[in-house]
Chain A
Amino acid sequence: MSLLEVNQMSMFFGGLAALSGVTFGVEKGEILALIGPNGAGKTTLFNCVNGFYKPTLGTVSFRGQKISGLEPHVVCRMGLARTFQVVKPLQRMSVLDNVIASAFLRTKTRAEAVDLATEILEFTGLLEDRDVISKGLPLGKRKRLEIARALATKPEMILLDESFAGLNPAELDVSIEIIRGIKAQGITIMIIEHHMKVIMSISDRIVVLNYGQKIAEGSPADIRANPLVVEAYLGGEA
């Protein structure tokens, strides 16, 4: 049994099938990358997994329990956290307060929440920005704040939606190290990413979506050699 199982999942918006019959699993401890062209349905899949959308058909299970249809806060409490592609900082709160707000999920007192939040800001390299009002953070750091907040809920698995988009090369390296660090803590990762170099270097396995359908699944080497993927996606990038 995989840690996360997506089973025959379809999501329709009116006549549009954003996802159709997608099935795959994420194994405990791995980094699984979800790739595909714009509009392929990647973010929709995250929304179905974390409870923002209720899939039209199919199910999602986490640790063997069905989670599709549950509310997002319940899914998070069960140990499945996420970040947003379009970042959603708690704008008028400081960076530290953003992370404290999510650290409260697993802590009793405010002092414990502050400790956990501080620890996580250190890990994500945001400690010196702790008192900055998050509205004023540059994009690169806001992306990292998304990760920090998700980590503060002490997840067993984390969904990262384009955490690398818009980063400069230096920030990219920092973020890759953070992802490796998360994996080293034993947290399972599913990541959506367009940046091919990053994907090929960090992921254990890759699932490719195109027009809402899974067109390939395998190791980075398999995916690079898959003619379907090259045609639908990689070819277009070169």
Chain B
Amino acid sequence: MNKKYIPFILIGALLVLPQLGLSSYVLHILILALMWATAGMAWNLLGGYCGQVSFGHAAFFGMGAYCAGLLAHHYDITPWLGFLVSVPVVAALALVMGFIVLRLRGPYFVLATLAIGELLRIIAENLVDLTQGNLGVLIRRTWVDKDPYYYVILALALGTYFLIQRIMASRWGYYFVAIREDQDAAESLGINTTLYKTIALAISAVITGFTGAFYMNYMGYIDPQIVFSLGDISIVMIMVVMVGGVATPLGPWVGAVIMVILAEWIRSLPVIGTGYQTLFGILLIVIIIFLPNGLVGDLPKIKRFFKKEVPA
């Protein structure tokens, strides 16, 4: 079979999936996987390709979610408009964040992103007039059925995938990777590293904001502890990419499926289920040691491993 057709077959399969009479629960898992794949791709653009590892992407996710939720809550406007409204809001937040953190390198950058993510959570908790604080925001969902949500997030995921593929084949893509590989070399080649890091951050942030807006629409309820969470959002985005494969196009998809299923499974376990974040932490360490490039990135290594096990 020609390799060229594989993407079309995959997309076709994704399109017909909800028509196969899947249970509502399975569809829910698929929707979450697509949402995390999208968020992972967004993180991957900045962290994987451009090399700027952010521990604060919950800031953008939460901001996108609140854009959708607050429109519906305060003005009774459709929460889907949150997608549109989130673009300038999240982009502005990314620019502010970029101004503060992009001049920092290495661990300073990481710590600064982490701090900003947490800061946003605390602000959302305390601006009670606007956000209702820890009470959260509850909206009326548009559809009872899960199918339409599936198609919305599928469109978002595929759109993100093709957008990032386009970017990575262009000047911007080359510049992002050059910055990751050696910032001084990139500067001396005429690349305005601050500008292009800001561009990568802004695109990454806006897409992450979309996933947040989707989350609000789909779940119908958010509070600051959920959508601005370090452990449940920022770190899960990183794990999706690390498990699947950093700086690979399909890594976030693979990572998202594994993480969502794993999370569901671990949470359902008696006793240790409540400690799922600890288990995720252990998993992350194992991955970093044995598959530093993730499942997709280390595929050749995995294949070799299994070939050794089964001598011809």
Are B182 and A82 closer than 8 Å at their CB atoms?
no
Asked if B203 CB lies within 8 Å of chain A CBs, one says no
Q: Bound complex: CA of A50 vs CA of B185, how far in Å?
A: 12
Are B181 and A84 closer than 8 Å at their CB atoms?
no
Q: Which of B171, B175, B185 contacts A88 (CB 8 A)?
A: B185
Are B189 and A76 closer than 8 Å at their CB atoms?
yes
Are A90 and B181 closer than 8 Å at their CB atoms?
yes
* Shortest Cβ distance from A102 into B: residue: B189
Interface string of B182-217 (1 = CB under 8 A from A): 101111111111000000000000000000000000
Contact flag A92-B181 (CB < 8 Å), given A101-B174, A110-B170: yes
Asked if A162 CB lies within 8 Å of chain B CBs, one says no
Asked if A153 CB lies within 8 Å of chain B CBs, one says yes
New A-B pairs, 10, CB < 8 Å, besides A91-B182, A92-B177, A150-B189: A73-B193, A84-B185, A84-B188, A88-B182, A91-B181, A101-B174, A101-B186, A102-B190, A110-B169, A152-B189
Q: Bound complex: CA of A97 vs CA of B190, how far in Å?
A: 15
Asked if A52 CB lies within 8 Å of chain B CBs, one says yes
Interface string of A86-121 (1 = CB under 8 A from B): 001111110001001110110000100100000000
Which A residues lie within 8 Å of B177 (CB)?
A: 90, 92-93, 97, 101
Asked if B242 CB lies within 8 Å of chain A CBs, one says no
A interface bracket (residues with beta carbon within 8 Å of B): 20 to 34
Q: Bound complex: CA of A100 vs CA of B170, how far in Å?
A: 11
Which one of B171, B178, B187, B190 has the greatest number of beta carbons of chain A within 10 Å?
A: B190
Which B residues lie within 8 Å of A84 (CB)?
A: 184-185, 188
Which B residues lie within 8 Å of A50 (CB)?
A: 188
Asked if A149 CB lies within 8 Å of chain B CBs, one says yes
Which one of B174, B184, B189 has the greatest number of beta carbons of chain A within 10 Å?
A: B189
Name A's B-contacting residues (CB within 8 A). 50, 52, 71-73, 76-77, 81-82, 84, 88-93, 97, 100-102, 104-105, 110, 113, 149-150, 152-153
Interface size on B, residues (CB 8 A): 19
How many A-B contacts at CB < 8 Å in the complex? Answer: 76
Are B188 and A100 closer than 8 Å at their CB atoms?
no
Are B184 and A88 closer than 8 Å at their CB atoms?
yes
Which B residues lie within 8 Å of A104 (CB)?
A: 171, 174-175
Which A residues lie within 8 Å of B181 (CB)?
A: 89-93
Which A residues lie within 8 Å of B193 (CB)?
A: 73
Which A residues lie within 8 Å of B186 (CB)?
A: 90, 101
Which B residues lie within 8 Å of A88 (CB)?
A: 182, 184-185
Which one of A52, A73, A149 has the greatest number of beta carbons of chain B within 10 Å?
A: A73
Which A residues lie within 8 Å of B184 (CB)?
A: 52, 72, 84, 88
Which B residues lie within 8 Å of A91 (CB)?
A: 181-182
Q: Bound complex: CA of A92 vs CA of B297, how far in Å?
A: 13
Interface string of B161-181 (1 = CB under 8 A from A): 000000001110011011001
Are B182 and A73 closer than 8 Å at their CB atoms?
no
Q: List 28 A-B contacts (CB under 8 A).
A: A50-B188, A52-B187, A72-B184, A73-B187, A73-B189, A73-B190, A73-B191, A76-B188, A76-B189, A76-B190, A81-B190, A84-B184, A84-B188, A88-B182, A88-B184, A89-B182, A90-B177, A90-B181, A90-B185, A93-B177, A93-B181, A97-B177, A101-B174, A101-B175, A101-B189, A110-B170, A113-B174, A152-B189
Are A153 and B189 closer than 8 Å at their CB atoms?
yes
* Shortest Cβ distance from B185 into A: residue: A88
Contact flag A81-B188 (CB < 8 Å), given A104-B171, A110-B169, A110-B171: yes
Are A72 and B182 closer than 8 Å at their CB atoms?
no
4 smallest CB-CB distances across A and B, nearest first, come from: A76-B190, A90-B181, A88-B185, A102-B189
Tell me the minimal C-beta distance from A79 to chain B in angstroms.
10
Tell me the minimal C-beta distance from B245 to chain A in angstroms.
14
Tell me the minimal C-beta distance from B178 to chain A in angstroms.
4
Tell me the minimal C-beta distance from A190 to chain B in angstroms.
15
Tell me the minimal C-beta distance from A118 to chain B in angstroms.
15
Q: Bound complex: CA of A228 vs CA of B32, how far in Å?
A: 75
Q: Bound complex: CA of A215 vs CA of B63, how far in Å?
A: 61
Are A105 and B190 closer than 8 Å at their CB atoms?
yes
Interface string of B254-297 (1 = CB under 8 A from A): 00000000000000000000000000000000000000000000
Which B residues lie within 8 Å of A100 (CB)?
A: 174
Which A residues lie within 8 Å of B192 (CB)?
A: 71, 73
Q: Bound complex: CA of A89 vs CA of B177, how far in Å?
A: 12
Which A residues lie within 8 Å of B187 (CB)?
A: 52, 71-73, 76
Q: Bound complex: CA of A77 vs CA of B188, how far in Å?
A: 9
Tell me the minimal C-beta distance from A185 to chain B in angstroms.
19
